Amino acid sequence: MDEKDYLLVKELMENSRAPLTLLGKKLGMTDVAVKKRLKKLEKEGVIKKYTIEVDASKLGYKNVALIGVDTEPEKILEVASQLSQKDYASKVFLTTGDHMIMIEAWTKDNKHLTQVVEDIGKIPGVKRVCPAIVLEKIK
């Protein structure tokens, strides 16, 4: 990857629907050259998919929570797999640091968040559940 590839990826992370002509102008390239770079980045697996960012509150979710989950070591993959099937889990990560698994959960209200925390705690192998409500997304 060269500098233009990095700049192209950065632009797409801001707006994955940006027109090729606009991307070309920002990068000093033709839209055809941008398209070729995109195909190359897709083929190499740098770009895995194009997606959207959703405002959870517009869908009726009052809380977005980051929930740390600690498990018995031998159960981590099983628990993460079960969590990834839950409707409230928009993202599930295996992590190092304070918690073994981190979840981004969307909940309708505080009562729903309490139910989510209780649901996670009932999964076999879960030892600890640590929720934190996101107050504001900065970036």
Domains in the chain, ordered, with CATH? 3-43 (1.10.10.10), 56-133 (3.30.70.920)
Query: How much is the pLDDT for 139?
Result: 85
* CA-based nearest residue to 73, from 132, 117, 108, 125: 125
What are the structure tokens assigned to 122, written together? Answer: 């009932």
d(CA 30, CA 20): 8
Residue 49's alpha-carbon distances to 28, 55, 114, 117, in angstroms, are: 24, 19, 33, 30
State the pLDDT at residue 126: 98
Query: According to the model, what pLDDT value does residue 81 have?
Result: 98
- By 3-state DSSP, what share of the chain in percent is helix, strand and coil, each rounded to 5? 45, 20, 35
Which own/partner pairs from 11-20 qualify as long-range (CB within 8 Å, at least 24 positions apart)? 12/47, 12/50, 16/50, 16/51, 16/52, 17/50
- What is the predicted pLDDT for the residue at 133? 95
Averaged pLDDT, groups of 10, the chain, 139 residues long: 95 95 96 97 96 92 97 97 97 96 97 98 98 92
Per-residue tokens: 74: 């031998």
Contact 57, 137 (CB under 8 A): no
Which amino acid does the sequence have at 126?
V
Q: For position 111, what pLDDT does the model report?
A: 97
**pTM confidence score:** 0.82
